[in-house]
Structure 1
Amino acid sequence: MDVQDFIRDQVHENRIVLFMKGTPSFPQCGFSSQVVQILDHLDATYTTFNVYDSDELRQGIKRYSNWPTIPQLYVRGEFIGGCDIVREMFEAGELQQLIGAVAEEQPAAG
C-alpha cells in the first residue's frame, strides 16, 4: 500500500484524525501541542499519526491535503486545517459543534 492510500484509508476509517509532530503525550512542536490541547479540552476521541515516524508519511500528508504545514486535522474524512484554523474555529465555537456532532455519532463505550 502506498502512503497516499494509507492516508486516505486512515482519514476515512477514523472520525477524527490528527497528523502531528510527535504524540499527544509528547508533542514535538508548539502548533501540534496547541491542537492536542484543544482536542483534549473538548474531550474528543481522535487518532493521531506522528509524521516523524516516517519521512514518506511526512511528505505524503502534505501532498494528500495540498497543505504545506503540519499539524493537519481531519474530521469525518474532511480536511479541517492546521493549528491557526483549528484555533480560530475553537474560539468561534465552531469546532465544539463539529466535535460534539461526531461524539454523538459514536456508539457509547462499554
Structure 2
Amino acid sequence: MSDVQQRIDQIVKGHKVVLFMKGTAQFPMCGFSGRAVQVLKACGVNDPHTVNVLEDEDIRQGIKEYANWPTIPQLYINGEFVGGSDIMMEMYQAGELQQALTA
C-alpha cells in the first residue's frame, strides 16, 4: 500500500463519517459535493469529517484508486465506502442512508 493509500485508510478508519469532496462543507466547490453535504445535513450529520481533494493532488488521485471509484465526492461510513452523491441521494430517499448513519 502506498503512502497516499495509507493516509486515506487512516482518515477513513479514523472517523465515523468521512466525505472526500471538492471544497469544504461550508464552501463546496462543485454541485455534487454541495449536494452530498446537504444530504448529510438532512440526515442530521451537521459536521462530517471532510477532506478537500482540491488541496491535495495525491489524495485527489489516490481516493479514486482506494475505492476503485472514478468520481468525487465519495462518502465513507464506519470505514466502508458508500458511494457518490447520486448513490447518497438514492439511499437517502429510500431511508437507507439514515439507517447506515445510525448503525
Rg larger for = 1
Other structure's SS at 1:79 match: strand
Letter paired with 2:83: G
Deviations 1:55-94 (A, max 9, x none): 1110000011110000000001100000110000000010
Q: 2:82 aligns with which of 59, 80, 83?
A: 80
Q: List 4+ stretches of structure 1 deviating above 3 A.
A: none
Aligned residue in 1 for 2:72: 70
Aligned residue in 2 for 1:95: 97
For residues 46 and 26 of structure 1, the distance between their equivalents in structure 2, rounded to whole angstroms, comes to 14
1:1-110 alignment runs, 5 A limit: 2-44=3-45, 45-101=47-103
Other structure's SS at 1:74 match: strand
For residues 34 and 14 of structure 1, the distance between their equivalents in structure 2, rounded to whole angstroms, comes to 21
Unmatched segments (≥5 aa) in structure 1: 102-110
Tell me how large the CA RMSD over aligned residues is: 1.1
For residues 20 and 64 of structure 2, the distance between their equivalents in structure 1, rounded to whole angstroms, comes to 10
* CA drift at 1:100: 2.3
TM-score, structure 1 as length reference: 0.88
